[in-house]
Structure 1
Amino acid sequence: MSLTGTRTPLGEAVAVCRDALGEVAERQPGFLTMPEREALLTGLVALEAQVVELRMRVLAGSADIADAHGARDVAGWVALRTGADPGRLRAESKVATSIDESWPRVGVAMARGALSLEQARVITTGLDALPARIDDEARTRAEVHLVGLGTGEREDAPEGGYGPRHLRMLAERVLDVVAPEIAEEEDAKRLAALEAAAHAKTSLRMRPMGEGLTRITALVPDPIAARLATYLDAFTSPRQHHAGAGGNPDAERLPQHRARGLAFGALLEHLDPAKLPVHGGDATTVIVTIDHDQLTHHLGTAGLLDPGHDNGGELRISADHARRLACTAKILPAVLGGKSEVLDLGRARRLFTAAQRTALGLRDKTCRAEGCTIPARWCEAHHLDPWSKGGRTDLADGLLLCNFHHHREHDPASTTTRLANGDRRYHRRT
Structure 2
Amino acid sequence: MSSSLAPLLEAVALLERAWADAEGGSTLSRARLIAANEAIGLTRRRLEAVHAEVAAGIAHESRRELGPDGLAKQQGFRNPALFIASTTGSSTGDAARLMKVGEATAPRTNLIGEVLPAKLPHVRRALAVGRIGAATADLIVTFLDRMLLRAGRDRVAEAEVLLAEKAPGLSLDEVRRMLARLEAHLDPDGVEPREDDLRSQASVSMFQRGGMLHLTAVLDPERAAAVQTAIQGYVSAEFAAKRDGRDPDAPDADRRTVRQIQADALVHLAAHALSCDSEDSLSGATVIVRVGLDELRNGTGAGLIDGIEQPVGITTVRRMAAAGGVIPWVCGSRGEILDWGRRVRFFTTAQRLALAERDGGCARCGLPPGMTKAHHIRWWARDNGPTDLSNGVLLCETCHHLIHDVGWDIRIDGIGTRAKVWFIPPPHVDPSRTPRLGGRARTEPVAA
* TM-score relative to the length of structure 1: 0.47
Q: For the pair shown, which has the larger CA radius of gyration, 1 or 2?
A: 1
- Higher RCO structure (Cα 8 Å, ≥6 apart): 2
